[in-house]
Amino acid sequence: MNSDFFDRAAKFAIDAHHGGERKGKGYPYILHPMEAAGIVASISNDQELLAAAILHDTVEDTDVTIEQIRQEFGDRVATLVYSETSHLPHDAPWRDRKQAQADAIASASRDSKIVALGDKLSNLRAIVTDYHQIGDALWQRFKAPNGKEDILWYYTILASALRDLAGTPPYEEYLKLLKEL
């Protein structure tokens, strides 16, 4: 297997996220997209899926545009990254934004769902780990108006949106972690 394509995407993501920090964690942000790519790799070795996973937050969280992704990595990767990018204004009500994200995932292609699962499972792992470390203080980190109740609601509707991936180890881990919360 030739990993040149993924290596190029990883370098692009590292450069785009340079200096960024994972909210409330104190470590480089790029570790999250790397973990997402690792999760995707447990389902598929498709280099474009892996590239989309490591690039999934570049458009939403950096100055990178979807056109730059398209120019550098092609239409398929750009489409997958775009499907992981929130399209509602940040000032829209929290539940509306999260419902729109879940609805988009539910109607997305299997490839988009694989990338989304990489992202969401990485996030859920962090939430469960942090919950075990700091308890209910964790919920203050989120913009969810009802804290834990909203977070559980969101990750539950995501489980439904991602159910096409049932039987894959990452999806089963997702369900286990959700139940643990």
Residue 23 has pLDDT above 80, yes or no: no
Paired strand residues for 28: 21
What mean pLDDT is predicted for residues 31-51? 97
pLDDT of residue 22: 79
Predicted pLDDT at 90? 78
**Residue whose structure tokens are 């992704």:** 69
Write out pLDDT tens, residues 102-157. 999 999 999 999 999 999 999 999 999 999 999 999 998 888 889 899 999 999 99
Give the containing element (helix H, strand E) for 79. helix 66-83
What would the mean pLDDT of 40-60 be, rounded to a whole number?
96
User: Would you list the DSSP string of 139-174?
Assistant: GGGS--TTTHHHHHHHHHHHHHHTGGGTTSHHHHHH
Number of domains in the chain: 1
Check residue 177 and give its pLDDT: 98
pTM (two decimals):
0.94
The parent domain of residue 18 ranges over 4-180
Position 86 scores a pLDDT of: 78
State the CATH number of the domain containing residue 171: 1.10.3210.10
Which active-site residues does the annotation give? 60-61
